[in-house]
Chain A
């Protein structure tokens, strides 16, 4: 190995010492940047204990603005005896509170109502994602 003196390389040792310091600053900045992106909001329901697919990212306000949804109970509906109550909304409730209430229902039936709610509307409106991988996106993509 050839060792060059400071004179030969023109690089002073104290400048070399700055390299790890710069590295640390870059690392710190990138960690802050990663965290400051903000949490991606996902569709959540505590009934889904072991999800088989990645969760679905959902930006509530942006989505509703784009879709022109003004009424809360368009999605957050309340049904009584098979009839939708136009003056009520189920904001703050989890879908599973009603849709998993029956003993015969399992996670797959909860998946069903989620899909019918999202995909069903997308198909009706000819807009928005409809295929499995369009909503349940893998994180590494």
Chain B
């Protein structure tokens, strides 16, 4: 247990972080170059104002027509993304570990709230799975890798919940929790999860095209 713990909580964390950062930079630079090649005009009409206007509109729940058309999806998607980021960043146990390593600390969530937020993430993953299986238009676009990605996203939350509540086998769950967190970090740049990286650019592109060129709104 000690040897496995030391590997997964030491060198593997660094490896995952490096792959995540370098992989993300690689994807962003490569995508920028591809855009310059395929649509060189993009950069000339890219506007900071219209980009931010679009980004701002799309991070407000129900601010776009499409979100109003799918209210359940909107609520679940927003709750999911907020919890997905807030729980790992503001979890007391994580901050304790970071403080142990680097003596830095920040505000943290009360454990019962983090617990509920974890369940929201797991519940939302089940919702997304059901959506992929049951809605025809979503199933049409679904490939096997989408299920793997969903499982990958849910895994750190399931194992974290399991470990925190000390259900049988919680030691193994804790190790799997660390490994699954590293896997998801590595997956971000190279799977559909890269929407995390491309989201501001995609909105910037659409926002600028609609605002600066067509004199319209993109929501």
Contacts and interface: CB of A to CB of B under 8 A. Distances in A.
Interface of A: 52, 106, 108-109, 111-112, 115-116, 122-123, 126-127, 130-134, 137-138, 141
A104 B151 CA distance: 41
A52 B95 CA distance: 13
B39 interface: no
Contacts of A112: 96, 99-100, 103
Given A52-B111, A133-B174, A138-B166, 15 more contacts: A108-B96, A111-B96, A111-B99, A122-B2, A123-B5, A126-B2, A127-B2, A130-B5, A131-B174, A132-B93, A132-B163, A133-B163, A134-B171, A138-B165, A141-B166
Nearest to A126: B2
B50 to A, nearest CB: 43
What 5 A-B pairs have minimum CB-CB distances, sorted nearest first? A133-B166, A131-B174, A133-B170, A126-B2, A138-B166
B2 A116 contact: no
Contacts of A108: 95-96, 99, 105
Contacts of A123: 2, 5-6
B27 to A, nearest CB: 34
Chain B interface residue bracket vs A: 20 to 34
Contacts of B166: 133, 137-138, 141
Nearest to A131: B174
B28 interface: no
Report which residue of B1, B6, B166 has the largest number of chain A beta carbons within 10 angstroms of its beta carbon: B166
B99 A109 contact: yes
B212 interface: no
Contact of A131 (B111, B165, B171): B171
B92 interface: yes
A137 to B, nearest CB: 7
Given A108-B99, A132-B163, A133-B174, A52 B6 contact: no
A133 B171 contact: yes
B109 to A, nearest CB: 11
Contacts of A133: 163-164, 166, 170-171, 174
